[in-house]
Amino acid sequence: MAKNPSGTGDPARTLELLWRKPGHGRAARGPKQGLTVDAVVGTAVTLADREGIDAVTMRALAQELGVTPMTLYTYVPGKAELLDLMLDTVHQRMPRPEHTATTPWRARVEAVAEANRALFRQHPWVAALNVTRPPLGPGSLDKYEHELGAFEGLGLDDVEMDASLAHLLAFVQSTARAAIDAQAVARDTALSDADWWAANAPLLDQVFDPSRYPLATRVGAAAGEAHHAPSSPEHAYTFGLARVLDGFARLIESRSG
């Protein structure tokens, strides 16, 4: 099973908690009567932002809240359900500027991409989640409804609208994850890309034959000079987003005439 999967908890309990059905917002017992599901989830989000999603265990969360793990389980059944609640919560907090008919469609779609990129920057752990089964809570459904609005009125059918949004979000998540991974490597090794290349370039020169790899030599040198590094997450995002939008433009044109 994939690590940190979404949608693997008890569906009935998860939906009750996501929609805060009566009787599921506050435990009936426990030493800390002021504790609520919202407080539990909010603390879990803060812990994940600070230490990463792997640090969010029921035991660690109980310690943060000052309760016993058994008390915590009276609010949230387990980590699987907690992940869905956390994701739905950060989705609910996202800004949702109106998609006006006078705004060009590329600007509307780009705004959706930027909002999700900001989400991953604010909550890097979200990019690491495997959301094959998204939480069907109010935050995630509000997000889906709002983002589909960027594609409304473009001549796409409903399946194409859904697929276009999914493709856009998958691109943003992949570039965000790559950027987060690059930051983690630099932090864990205490080496910047420039320092890493400075250390390894002399070794590579001993075995690398430019005549055998002429394209790699030329293109790699040009990219390295442009980015001052082997790659640039910022360039990967801006270049890739433009290509995604170009692809949407071709699809929209084909549907309009």
Residue ranges covered by each domain of the chain: 11-92, 96-256
Between CA 229 and CA 225 the distance in angstroms is 7
Contact 208/197 with Cβ under 8 angstroms? no
For tokens 């370039």, name the residue.
201
- The beta strand positions in 94-147, using DSSP E, are none
The H or E element spanning position 67 is none
- DSSP lists the bridge partners of residue 5 as 130
Percent of the chain residues past pLDDT 70, beyond the cut: 91
Eight-class DSSP state of 128:
T
130 in helix, strand or coil? strand
The model's pLDDT over 186-214, given as tens digits with 9 standing for 90+, comes to 777 777 777 777 777 787 778 888 899 89
Mean pLDDT of the 138-163 span: 97
- DSSP lists the bridge partners of residue 237 as none
* Per-residue pLDDT at 24: 47
Tokens of 180: 């987060």
Q: Structure pTM?
A: 0.85
Of 8-12, 141-145, 159-163, give the lowest mean pLDDT range. 8-12
Q: Cα–chain-centroid distance for residue 16? A: 24
Domain 11-92 grouped into CATH 3.30.499.10: no
Contact 244/168 with Cβ under 8 angstroms? yes
Percent of the chain residues past pLDDT 90, beyond the cut: 61
* Per-residue pLDDT at 1: 44
Mean pLDDT of the 77-84 span: 93
Domains 11-92 and 96-256 share a fold: no
Residue 11: pLDDT over 60: yes
Homologous superfamily, domain 96-256 = Tetracycline Repressor, domain 2 (1.10.357.10)
How many CB atoms lie under 10 A from the CB of residue 116?
Answer: 22
pLDDT band at 89 (very low <50, low <70, confident <90, very high): very high
